[in-house]
Structure 1
Amino acid sequence: MLSRGNSCAIGIIKISIYIHPIYVANIFAFLSTRLTIIF
C-alpha cells in the first residue's frame, strides 16, 4: 500500500514537473517546512 502510494505520488510529481516546475518547487518547500514543524 505504501509503496503503491509512493509510486503514484512519484508519477504525479513527474507530471507536475513537466507542467509547472515553479509550482512543484513551492509544494516541496511547503511540504519540507510542514515536515520540519511536525517532527
Structure 2
Amino acid sequence: SGEVSAFRLSVENKELQEPIFFVEGEFMAPVGLKREPEE
C-alpha cells in the first residue's frame, strides 16, 4: 500500500523495572513481534 507505519518498541526487565532498550523508526512493511525468539 506504500504506507509507512511509525513504531516505538520498549522492552522492560521485570526485575529492574527499567527499559532495556528502545527502538524507534519506520517500516515499509508489516512488523511482527513475538514474546520468544525462534531457535
TM-score tier after normalising by the smaller chain length:
under 0.3
| Greater fraction of residues in helix | 1
- Which is bigger in relative contact order (C-alpha 8 A, separation at least 6)? 2
Q: Normalized against structure 1, the TM-score is what?
A: 0.20
Larger of the two Rg values belongs to structure: 2
